Amino acid sequence: MPSAIAIVGRPNVGKSTLFNRLTGRRAALVSDMPGLTRDRRHGEALIAGNAVTVIDTAGLEEAPAASVAGRMRTQSELALTGADLVLVVFDARQGVLPADAVIARMVLSRGVPAILVANKCEGRAGQDGFYEAFRLGLGDPIAISAEHGEGIGDLSAAIASALGLKAGGGDDAGNGEGRGAPALRVAIVGRPNAGKSTLVNHLVGEDRMLTGPEPGLTRDAIASDMHWQGRPIRLFDTAGLRRKARIVDGAEKLAVSDAVRAVRFAEVVVLLIDAERPLEHQDLTIADLVETEGRALVIAVNKWDLVSEKQRMLKDLKATLAKRLAQLPGVALVPISARAGRGLEALMAAVFAAYEIWNKRVPTPELNRWLAAALEQHAPAAAKGRRVKLRFMTQPSARPPTFIAFCSRPEAVSKAYVRYLTNSLRTAFGFAGVPVRLKLRKSDNPFVRD
């Protein structure tokens, strides 16, 4: 199992920038705004050729336990509990503040090996702060600039020494998902306060994400690795998606951008809706985004235990989806209670089923037999007195299922007829609930020479 390295420090000292630098990815949101990171984020890094797990944490602040800042602190302390090494980061330009001394004492009291990191040491501005850090009792500080990549080599060498890592000891390990089958990437999306983080915590089996009654707690798209019935899964908890007109805060803009990026990276997207306010316009907008990005979709109705007339609501929801989400007919609709952990087996079964459909391929002979039957049942309308001929169809790719029909005059085929073929494809081959792409290409005339 890879060693775990937790990055801790005050807000806005550059922890997320260092996390991105070590992992080699722009995974964590970075901004001058303090307190942007709220949840623990895990990432994979290579130190002297060895795979390690790096944990980005929220800024450690003194605050009441029930407050948002207090719950953020609890999440950071949980990261310390399971860490093999702690990187204590402070801002060398600001110097050592009382809060830095508090954090240093907390780390020392836990007895976890620690490395003191003086960030923002580029130029001369951080020299005085660098020398102040010797009094924290965490040993010699290592001067770096996470933003510019300065001193990262020295820090990596110190990490390898502290963990006892030998150079090249893990060249064939640690791709972030382990050996064997790759992890299925699942993004949990929805409006603010729909219960996304609560759902992730129940699926993972620990309080991995910050939860509470306040909307907009989640900002980063946080990845959590888990196994369900022996199958590896990487879950992405995302920020709540509101209408663009309501997004004015800079942090929320970054969070929404990260959530959309998670949708594009995912293979299956679970749209979580609130049973007390089901299928509002924003829910359907998010579902349309998922379809546009070509991802498999499952809709989970949360807080189902609060619904009194369950069968009636389920019938109404299906009718609304059939009317207002016609581009994804047959999408799975699963009632759950994230808080109570009910309905999760049915939800994951729907996720696996959607993934299989999303990857489905149809053999070309079978596809063309279907095409002949579809044309016989309903041929395309003639345009300007000339027939339109569809001669051949193939499926060049899946994920999402994509089909190409070779046609004599693609520009003359109406959108209504393309919808007819697409819906007939769905029915004939079982492509319910996933995007289907059907493209028309002009077939070459063998009697026409260039």
Q: What is the CATH number of domain 3-163?
A: 3.40.50.300
Query: Where do the domains of the chain lie?
Result: 3-163, 184-358, 364-442
How do residues 295-341 score in pLDDT, each as one tens digit?
Answer: 999 999 999 999 999 999 999 999 999 999 999 999 999 999 999 99
Half-sphere exposure at residue 100, Cβ-oriented, CA atoms within 13 angstroms: 25
Beta-sheet strand order (sheet of 268-274):
222-228, 231-237, 184-190, 268-274, 296-302, 332-335
Per-residue pLDDT at 430: 95
How do residues 85-106 score in pLDDT, each as one tens digit?
Answer: 999 999 988 888 888 888 888 8
Per-residue pLDDT at 255: 56
Angle (nearest 5°) at CA 230 between 227 and 232: 40
Neighbour count for residue 249 (Cβ, 10 Å): 11
Instruction: Classify burial at 109, counting beta carbons within 10 Å of its beta carbon; exposed 0-12, middle 13-18, buried 19 or more.
Output: exposed
Per-residue pLDDT at 242: 57
| Residue ranges for the chain with pLDDT beneath 70 | 25-39, 59-76, 79, 123, 125-126, 167-181, 207-221, 240, 242-258, 444-450
Q: What is the CATH number of domain 184-358?
A: 3.40.50.300
Using CA atoms, how far apart are residues 424 and 436, in angstroms rounded to an integer? Answer: 11
Tell me if 184-358 shares its fold with 364-442. no
Per-residue pLDDT at 237: 84
CB 296 within 8 A of CB 434: yes
CB 51 within 8 A of CB 170: yes
Tokens describing residue 85: 């090494």
Q: Per CATH, the architecture of 364-442 is what?
A: 2-Layer Sandwich (3.30)
